[in-house]
Each structure stands twice: as C-alpha cells, then as structure tokens.
Amino acid sequence: MNLIELNRALRQLRLGGIAAVLEMRLHQAQVESMAPIDLISCLVSDELTRRGDRLLERRRKQAQFRDPQKTSITSTSPSTPR
C-alpha cells in the first residue's frame, strides 16, 4: 500500500488527524530513527489531540457564548430597567 492509498484508507476509517500528519511523522521517524511503537504512539496522540480540539470547538459553538467585545458593561448593570 502506497502513501496515497494509506491516506485514503485512513480518511475512510475517519482517522483524518493521522492522515493529516502522516508524511511529517514518517519523515520525523526516519530522521530520528524512531521505533515503530513510538511512531504509532505519536500518530495516535495526534489523532486524540485533533478530536479533542474539534469537540471543544463544537461545544463552544453550541454554547453560543456572547462576544464580550460586543456586550457593554452598562447593558448588564442591575440599575438598568428591564
């Protein structure tokens, strides 16, 4: 299996985080003479980080936080009539 087929398979398995950094990590493994388990560990760690970041971003969007720059302090003042 060549690199293109491997990237396609990783994306099909929904491992886009690994697919995104695969070439960089393979180069790093060659330069640093990494053990195979270390390479796999780095790839899995990258995938977990990507998934965590995407989950956090999705939750932030769902929370619909107000933009603090658009909200003035006077609009939340208790002395303002409602």
Where does the pLDDT of residue 79 fall: very low under 50, low under 70, confident under 90, or very high at 90 and above?
low
What's the pLDDT score for residue 18? 95
Q: Which two three-digit tokens encode residue 27?
A: 């180069």
Burial (CB count <10 Å: 0-12, 13-18, 19+), residue 43: buried
CA distance linking residue 71 with residue 52, whole number of Å: 29
pLDDT in tens, 24-77: 999 999 999 999 999 999 999 999 999 999 999 999 999 988 776 665 555 555
What's the pLDDT score for residue 67? 72
Nearest of 14, 4, 18, 77 to residue 47 by alpha carbon: 18
Nearest of 55, 21, 53 to residue 40 by alpha carbon: 21
What's the pLDDT score for residue 29? 96
